[in-house]
A and B are shown apart, each in its own frame.
Chain A
């Protein structure tokens, strides 16, 4: 299909979608209206389970099974990326020298921010049931923080800091913990992923029952998953060369 024909097809299809969107949007409930039926059900449910952050309650308690499915998507994507980006037969890995082409200031800021961002990431994970944040956000912050090492120009240091074999195990561990909490729900309360731990006081660190446990499991898995995916891309970029080629 030539580019012109393709554009024409898109203009027809996109135009039709735009018209249908406009019709739908104009008859939708208005933006910012005060009636929210799901909200009126979700907030009391979260308060009953002593969860101050209602979003965490929805994610890890009320529809935790959806989050379990999402974790599976994450694992599948890590496995898929690893399979697609493994070095081919004619490619070998080489050791990279510490390049040291980074500005001193960049290096300094990178090293200074590394512990800070790791602490912030952990804080975001463990307070997921109280303040904005949780496993997804905290895991992503942790993974970003770790790659400050790469930004400060030290790929070998990053490589030493993340033993990928351990990370593969940790990824499985995160998913297994999630499933185990779900099965414990069946054993104790009769349904998968039901919140069966004592809820504690509203607003305390140990409150909301299983929400903090699942948060930590998801935080571990997101952190490890993102690091593993980025490691595959870094490997392709830096260490993998075709045989007989010094890069």
Chain B
């Protein structure tokens, strides 16, 4: 249990990479990349987790002295998720353009890059 969360994170990263290598459709590769990036969310949050404490949000009445999990990694994960969405949007737009130009989105059928 001590390291299980870390291994799930590593597994997501490598599984995503496998998906990119095996993909026959650009959208499949892009979604696999998003899965890869999800590994970083799990790793970050796992690093900041502490057993039996609450979320880093205090109520207005309670004294802010209770123990909480690490808020810094949570803020980083938040940034990570938004960046992942913008990267996916940009990649999908690129794939749509490639499809217009080349008529295919199978990475194996794509001609060499044109200048």
**Residues of chain A whose beta carbon lies under 8 Å from any beta carbon of chain B:** 3, 6-7, 10, 14, 17-18, 21-22, 25-26, 28-34, 36, 38-39, 42-43, 46-47, 52-55, 57-59, 63, 66-67, 70, 73-74, 76-78, 80-81, 84-85, 88, 130-132, 136, 202-204, 222, 225-226, 229, 232-233, 236
Contacts and interface: CB of A to CB of B under 8 A. Distances in A.
23 contacts: A3-B108, A7-B21, A10-B21, A22-B10, A25-B3, A26-B3, A30-B3, A31-B4, A34-B51, A39-B68, A39-B72, A43-B56, A54-B71, A55-B78, A58-B74, A59-B78, A59-B79, A73-B83, A76-B86, A80-B90, A84-B93, A202-B64, A203-B59
A17 B64 CA distance: 41
Nearest to A66: B79
A77 B90 contact: yes
B110 interface: no
Contacts, number: 156
Interface string B59-91: 111001001111111110011011101110110
Given A38-B72, A63-B75, A84-B93, A31 B10 contact: no
Given A26-B3, A77-B86, A55 B57 contact: yes
Contacts of A130: 60
B3 A38 contact: no
B77 to A, nearest CB: 9
Dominant SS among interface residues on chain B: helix
Interface in B10-63: 10, 13-14, 17-18, 21-22, 46-51, 55-61
A55 B56 contact: yes
Contacts of A233: 92-93, 96
Given A46-B71, A59-B78, A136-B78, A28 B57 contact: no
Contacts of B83: 70, 73
Contacts of B14: 14, 17-18, 21
A58 B71 contact: yes
